[in-house]
Structure 1
């Protein structure tokens, strides 16, 4: 329990607003709940959220200590009352989460709180599976990343051993990653392999495609297969053999069939024609092939996990 005495500058404020200002990490719905449960007392008694504080009032807060911390990127998860996650699979070691387009995976200059990793941390904290306040606590971490405007499966490790194994498996290409994409026009041939070298421009946050090795460039390999063609668009399944920044987006644009909705590598006139903003790209399937030992993750060997519904498939190809 922590106690506060209301001074002149805080007098006449509503109780709930004072609580939000004093404890910025405490989600507003949780603050309202604590007021209702009388875990917030005024002069030793329960009160209403709209009570106007008076000079000299004594407030007793029966609230967990962590909510009194100074907000930082490390404790931002505390401010999330109801984590928004679409969980594809979960066990004691990891989570497979279907990230929605528009959400960033980690905090950046544009978003500090509403990120995928923050929602995952809030989810596990509220389940009491993890807390940064436990001794030697491991912080849940993402094993792979997806662009803000791309949706799909992201792997989150609940413990250090899982993170180590997953990092090794991704590096050794023992996890098969499949994407669905809608591209403009038709790929020729309809099934094949895209192989090139990508050079990243950090200032523009964009990559250039080269057919031959170039200084600083990284090789990029993508297998693709056309699944459907309709109204000038093609639905393509892509298998990543490497995992480079903007790999699918840049390679298909270079092949003459940019992704629908891609504002960086695509065609703005075509995007407007079809009413699409944000690239039509989804990491919809993962297979844990694991030809070598996977330790505590051996039970996942050979298993495939799929996102059943991808919105742009329904929108442009009727399901």
Structure 2
């Protein structure tokens, strides 16, 4: 018999999800069978695969030792070699808000880079004693949202399983609101408005197209915007995403004839070279928690707003 005492990091997740990670050699079919046969118990009592673990629960496994053998050897975790180079906007016991710089990917991509935002977060939490991989049997701090490599701004990381579950639900139900700042080429008119059109993804080309009328496969894209500053050639625009489509702001403003400065995919090369921009001038600069349903232990975040202290491309508008 082997047993686990559920830690704070692992609480809040379903039993079957915990077992998939904590006992990876145990097949899913056998897991459910052992739960039915009471060979997997919680606090000495019969349980269910959908049971949500609580801190302090004693998970008892009356299963063969072979399932606790070592799985295939894995490569050295990236947090052991990554540098903890992150800009922390806010941190508590449950979540971490990080200001991602432009040019950094959030997860490993096709390029195979190991220098990612999540690797840096793991290094930060590990090296500063905020996360011990050996203390929790399964949960690893995870990102709740993602932004493009070339976009900067706030990304949410969950430090506990419960926080990940709650944040994912709040994002899905649009109870977390993100505002962006971007720099467009030319003067956007009207200065304040509502953009609604249809975005179609082209997976093979890694880009999208914008349509003024519905087309098969396209999804409605809605943005509220407000011009807050201008130069003779540029506009500084604040945007609220009503929907969250791939490349939404980049594609919509390009469709209007005002591509984002620095955007190599939808933008203007001449303007990008003139201003020495190698990534789009786009920042997810503000995050507001606006919970309308139960948030459990994260209820204290309701009504709070967090912003990036200084968006680098705003210097283009300094007088």
TM-score normalised by structure 1 residue count: 0.74
Distance, in Å, in 1 between the alignment partners of 2:163 and 2:74 is 30
Residue 77 of structure 1 is aligned with which of 76, 79, 84? Answer: 79
Distance, in Å, in 2 between the alignment partners of 1:260 and 1:120 is 29
TM-score normalised by structure 2 residue count: 0.74
Q: Does residue 205 of structure 1 match 2:209?
A: no
Counterpart in the other structure of 2:167: 166
In structure 2, runs of 5+ residues without a counterpart are 1-72
Counterpart in the other structure of 1:157: 158
The alpha-carbon deviation at position 70 of structure 1 amounts to 4.9
* Larger RCO (alpha carbons 8 Å, 6+ apart): 2
In structure 1, runs of 5+ residues without a counterpart are 1-68
Q: Does residue 180 of structure 1 match 2:181?
A: yes
Counterpart in the other structure of 1:90: 91
Counterpart in the other structure of 1:216: 217
Distance, in Å, in 2 between the alignment partners of 1:135 and 1:95 is 18
Task: Give matches, 1:305-316, under 5 Å.
Answer: 305-314=306-315, 316=316
Higher alpha-carbon Rg: 1
Distance, in Å, in 1 between the alignment partners of 2:149 and 2:196 is 25
Task: Give matches, 1:1-319, under 5 Å.
Answer: 70-71=74-75, 75-80=77-82, 82-314=83-315, 316-318=316-318
Q: Map Cα deviations across residues 14-65 of structure 1 (whole Å, 9 max, x no partner).
A: xxxxxxxxxxxxxxxxxxxxxxxxxxxxxxxxxxxxxxxxxxxxxxxxxxxx
- More divergent stretch after superposition (260-269 vs 211-220): 211-220
Alignment RMSD: 1.5
The alpha-carbon deviation at position 111 of structure 1 amounts to 4.0
SS of alignment partner, residue 287 of structure 1: strand
Q: Map Cα deviations across residues 55-102 of structure 1 (whole Å, 9 max, x no partner).
A: xxxxxxxxxxxxxx7525xx111112x400100000000000000111
Distance, in Å, in 1 between the alignment partners of 2:164 and 2:289 is 15
Verify the 8 A CA contact 1:288 1:304 in the aligned structure 2: yes
Distance, in Å, in 1 between the alignment partners of 2:134 and 2:201 is 39
